[in-house]
Structure 1
């Protein structure tokens, strides 16, 4: 049995012009997937959301350690990661992290969206990655994080 982890207190700041500055934790064992996510989302996934930092993790243990430390506003997990997929990891994080940041799961195909529901993911985007859908999902989760914190 695992014990609850530290809080996922938001580290984001909203500037006077209404721009939400966010830190994103990105998990995939595949560097090409991590590169594709960062390229698709870019630095500014929406006019009111700016990604100030990306923390890339290649193992599930690194994700848990990083979330224990706090300071991440949005989490993106690769559902196709090996040996621990993002769907199982998402469910674990949602059950263990107090005030877990919103999580976006990347699924292998659109038909896997129901698995994201089981995993307690806040949003889902299927492979192949659509840059618009990915950007909108990250921006939406960042906005939701601000609303929850405020």
Structure 2
């Protein structure tokens, strides 16, 4: 049984990456594994980390520049074998259809609402990993 999950957090904004880490914390839910974070500020860093393996869930900033999280999501779903589930941060509720287009498993609004982000991340971790006792 895996006791620690690795979550990739992609945003060109260090404050956004920090918000995600603080919102989800070390364990986003009691029945979810503890989390270690890998932060990426660029698309090449995201691709490199995913090719290396060991990523359980990705949290992508839909408003990142120059490569937005929605486009990154669609690209990694096409290019990465056994791509981990993706949680998108979306700037406007009207962008939910784009999250669907990108093939993300979940989307939450940005700015981050901690309980909502933690719940969504925990659900994706549960879908990917065995339960923690």
Cα-to-partner distance string for 1:18-73 (whole Å, 9 max, x where unaligned): xxx21100000000000111011111100011333100000011000000000010
Cα-to-partner distance string for 1:94-136 (whole Å, 9 max, x where unaligned): 0111110000010111121110000000100111211111001
Runs of 4+ in 1 over 6 A off after TM superposition: none
Alignment of structure 1 residues 1-150 onto 2, 5 Å = 13-14=2-3, 21-146=4-129
TM-score of the superposed pair, with normalisation by structure 2 = 0.93
Q: Are the equivalent residues in 1 in contact too, given 2:2–2:33 (CA < 8 A)? A: no
Unaligned runs of 5+ in 2: none
Distance in structure 2 (CA, Å) of the matches to 1:80 and 1:128: 11
CA RMSD, Structure 1 to Structure 2 (Å): 1.2
Unaligned runs of 5+ in 1: 1-11, 15-20
Distance in structure 2 (CA, Å) of the matches to 1:116 and 1:146: 23
Q: Are the equivalent residues in 1 in contact too, given 2:86–2:105 (CA < 8 A)? A: yes
Helix, strand or coil at the partner of 1:81 = coil
User: Which structure has the bigger radius of gyration?
Assistant: 1
Between the two proteins, the alignment pairs up a number of residues equal to 130
Distance in structure 1 (CA, Å) of the matches to 2:119 and 2:80: 25
TM-score of the superposed pair, with normalisation by structure 1 = 0.83
